């Protein structure tokens, strides 16, 4: 990564030094009426190339907020994120959007599929936004959906698909522009056991066979255990979990239950 090495070891640093993300002293606070809510309070860590990192913690601890910050969907109150040598603080909105389209694939718990579009059209959207050839986009979208067992569902709209099928469509859309980083927010959170297993198998394949870097938020500690590394978001910071240990989630945050960060998925 084309950035200077950290001056001091980072608490969540992986064994390998080469990183996709460098997060330094990240803070994010929100205003709730007259009150200031400090969600992130100095989170620092690295994510290595090809690594699968799981973010776990109590509800309201800042996991999703942190994921949105990594994806350039939100701005920190202070601190810095560097991705492949690019400091987010130096990027304008257009440059951040270009970074997202070029490097990131997003998977959300609620799928965020457009109900008026077919599965095929939903998957094509990122490529069309990037102004790629429509016929090539159509072919790649069909291939991705077929690879996820949805060849017979191309013309179906989201409301005609099961939850597991919708999440597979969302995963195909995330891969449309061939990103090297997958940012997943509770990818199995709304699914039954069978559908969740299908999504987990896809994530494992993306990691093992295609060497995708994955940063995933999850409440499921069994799913988190499949990752290369687990970080617990606790008291506003990222704490590494020793291999084989049970994550210490700590007490619920004082602002438990509140939701602040909304993704800008443009």
What's the whole-model pTM score? 0.85
- pLDDT at position 12 over 80: no
Mean pLDDT for the stretch of residues 230-246: 94
Quick: pLDDT tens for 19-56. 899 999 999 999 888 889 999 999 999 999 999 999 99
The domain of 71 spans 19-240
pLDDT band at 7 (very low <50, low <70, confident <90, very high): very low
Dihedral angle at the C-alpha atoms of 234, 229, 71, 124, nearest 10 degrees? -140
The answer as to whether 261 is a domain residue is no
- pLDDT at position 259 over 80: no
Q: What CATH number is given to the structural domain containing 190? A: 3.40.50.300
Contact assessment for residue 104 and residue 179, using Cβ atoms and an 8 Å cutoff: yes
Contact assessment for residue 169 and residue 158, using Cβ atoms and an 8 Å cutoff: yes
The answer as to whether 188 is a domain residue is yes
Dihedral angle at the C-alpha atoms of 191, 114, 224, 105, nearest 10 degrees? 150
DSSP string over 88-116: GGG--HHHHHHHHHHHEEEE-TT----TT
pLDDT computed for residue 18 by the predictor: 54
Output the six-digit token pair for 106.
């997003």
Mean pLDDT for the stretch of residues 87-110: 92
The answer as to whether 247 is a domain residue is no
Output the six-digit token pair for 150.
């949805």
Angle between helical axes of 193-208 and 163-174 (0-180°, round to 10): 20
Give the whole-angstrom CA distance, residue 185 versus residue 99.
Answer: 19
Mean pLDDT for the stretch of residues 252-261: 56
pLDDT computed for residue 264 by the predictor: 46
Output the six-digit token pair for 98.
């270009």
Q: Side-chain half-sphere of 194: how many Cα atoms within 13 Å?
A: 3
pLDDT band at 1 (very low <50, low <70, confident <90, very high): very low
How many domains does the structure of the chain reveal?
1
Q: How many CB atoms lie within 10 A of CB 66?
A: 29
**Helix, strand or coil for residue 1?**
coil
H helix or E strand, kind and range, residue 124: helix 119-129
Mean pLDDT of the chain: 87
**Helix, strand or coil for residue 170?**
helix
Quick: pLDDT tens for 151-205. 999 999 999 999 999 999 999 999 999 999 999 999 998 898 999 999 999 999 9
Give the whole-angstrom CA distance, residue 112 versus residue 126.
Answer: 13
- pLDDT at position 13 over 70: no
Distance spanning both ends of the chain, measured CA to CA:
27
Contact assessment for residue 238 and residue 54, using Cβ atoms and an 8 Å cutoff: no
- All residues at 6 or more sequence positions from 112 whose CB lies less than 8 Å from its CB, including other chains: 170, 265
For residues 261 and 241, the model is more confident at 241
Quick: pLDDT tens for 51-94. 999 999 999 899 999 999 999 999 999 999 999 999 999 999 99
The answer as to whether 128 is a domain residue is yes
The answer as to whether 41 is a domain residue is yes
The answer as to whether 257 is a domain residue is no
The answer as to whether 191 is a domain residue is yes
- pLDDT at position 229 over 90: yes
The answer as to whether 183 is a domain residue is yes
CA 112 to each of CA 18, 108, 201, 210, 265: distance values in angstroms, whole numbers, following the listed order: 32, 7, 21, 25, 9
Output the six-digit token pair for 178.
């061939």
What percentage of residues in the chain have a pLDDT greater than 70? 88
Give the whole-angstrom CA distance, residue 262 versus residue 37.
Answer: 15
């Amino acid at each position: 990564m084309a950035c200077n090495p950290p001056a001091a070891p980072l608490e969540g640093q992986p064994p390998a030094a080469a990183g996709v993300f460098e997060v330094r002293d990240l803070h994010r606070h929100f205003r709730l009426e007259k009150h200031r809510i400090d969600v992130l309070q100095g989170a620092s860590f690295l994510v290595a190339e090809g690594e699968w990192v799981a973010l776990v913690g109590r509800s309201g601890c800042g996991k999703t907020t942190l994921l949105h910050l990594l994806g350039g969907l939100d701005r920190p109150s202070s601190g810095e994120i560097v991705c492949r040598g690019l400091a987010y603080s130096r990027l304008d909105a257009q440059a951040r959007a270009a970074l997202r389209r070029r490097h990131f694939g997003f998977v959300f718990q609620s799928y965020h599929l457009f109900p008026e579009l077919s599965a095929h059209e939903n998957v094509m959207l990122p490529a069309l936004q990037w102004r790629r050839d429509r016929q090539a986009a159509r072919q790649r979208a069909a291939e991705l959906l077929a690879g996820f067992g949805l060849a017979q569902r191309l013309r179906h709209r989201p409301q005609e698909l099961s939850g597991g099928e919708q999440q597979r469509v969302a995963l195909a859309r995330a891969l449309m522009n061939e990103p090297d980083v997958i940012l997943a927010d509770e990818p199995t959170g709304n699914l039954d056991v069978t559908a969740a297993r299908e999504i987990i198998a896809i994530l494992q394949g993306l990691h093992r066979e295609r060497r995708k870097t994955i940063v995933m938020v999850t409440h499921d500690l069994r799913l988190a255990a499949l990752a290369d590394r687990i970080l617990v978001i606790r008291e506003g910071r990222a704490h590494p979990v020793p291999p084989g240990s049970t994550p210490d989630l700590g007490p619920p945050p004082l602002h438990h239950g509140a939701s602040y960060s909304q993704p800008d998925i443009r």
